[in-house]
Amino acid sequence: MGLMMEQLSASKSFGGFHKRFRHNSQSLDCEMIFAIYLPPQAEKTGAKLPVLYWLSGLTCTDENFMQKAAALRVAAELGLIIVAPDTSPRGDKVPDDENGAWDFGKGAGFYLNASEQPWAQHYRMYDYVTKELPALIEANFPVSDKRGISGHSMGGHGALICALKNPGRYQSLSAFAPIANPSNCPWGEKAFSKYLGSNRETWRQWDACELLKTAKERLPILVDQGAADSFLAEQLKPEALKAAAEAAGLPLNLRLQEGYDHSYYFIASFIEDHLRHHAAVLSQ
């Protein structure tokens, strides 16, 4: 069950293939689309390649990273499979923000498991990203048991919490401009209060700065943040992440990149560093 997929497209790129698939998600109770890049090494008989899961940010789908990040050439060189899920459940039966807000509801799943109505039935992106989707990938594609996770903005938050909550599941971790302390910023407070309820104690398990306090694993974390990012001070809080990592004695390489904003121009500028950061661990 859950292994049936419909291929929507296949495009050759740098000797490999970018493909999109649709499937019925049990954890989200709706149809979902994901993208996968299979580098040329995936064609070799018996090949088992490491896989990097990329979590995108607010308003994005599976398409943004694959089209804009300029990641596929380097992934082809490194023999790295990349999987990009959507950012929230989709479809007519899935509830959305009643005012059509871009920072909540569809396109803004925040990679958590909602507990409040009407969100709890469908908004379970954490289960989807950490359990259901990897099981689907591992049953259908030539991936090894070496997994990395990365993401941007809301997806950077997702990558951090998925790795911190699952010691041993991911061998490598990075993020671009993550929402590092969602319990203490407008985007996170809005999403958490609706998805999780008003009790801030329950928010702690979905906040990277809180999770770092009790982290059981010492994964080296690479984080790039644009210094000219308009969301830097109010929403992203990289200084809180740095302080939490230092207090816990955990290895965080936080790089502030002068002049860069929050866009995919920024991501494309540093994605090669991140892919090599992951491959150095995952290819061992």
End-to-end alpha carbon distance in the chain: 33
Query: What angle is formed at CA 250 by the lines to CA 109 and CA 180, rounded to 5 degrees?
Result: 25
- Pairing of β 172-176 and β 221-226: parallel
pLDDT at 14: 98
pTM above 0.95, yes or no: yes
Give the residue-averaged pLDDT of 29-42. 97
Q: Which two tokens stand for residue 220?
A: 């080296």
Query: pLDDT (tens digit, 9 = 90+) per residue, 197-251?
Result: 999 999 999 999 999 999 988 899 999 999 999 999 999 999 999 999 999 999 9
Residues 149-207 have pLDDT tens digits of 999 999 999 999 999 999 999 999 999 999 999 999 999 999 999 999 999 999 999 99
Domain ranges of the chain: 5-283
Helix, strand, coil percentages for the chain (3-state, nearest 5) = 35, 25, 40
Closest CA to 184 of 207, 166, 168: 207
The catalytic residues are: 153, 229, 262
pLDDT category at 1 given cuts 50, 70, 90 is: very low
Q: Where are the alpha helices (DSSP H) in 141-203?
A: 154-164, 186-195
**How many whole angstroms from its chain centre is CA 277?**
16
Q: Are 279 and 82 in contact (CB under 8 A)?
A: no
pLDDT digits 0-9 by tens, 105-137: 999 999 999 999 999 999 999 999 999 999 999
Q: Are 49 and 39 in contact (CB under 8 A)?
A: yes
pLDDT score for 4: 84
- Angle at Cα 127 formed by Cα 169 and Cα 76, nearest 5°? 55
At the second CATH level, the architecture of 5-283 is 3-Layer(aba) Sandwich (3.40)
Query: What is the percentage of the chain residues whose pLDDT exceeds 90?
Result: 92
Confirm if 229 and 264 have CB atoms less than 8 A apart.
Answer: no
Give the pLDDT confidence score for residue 2 in this predicted structure.
Answer: 42
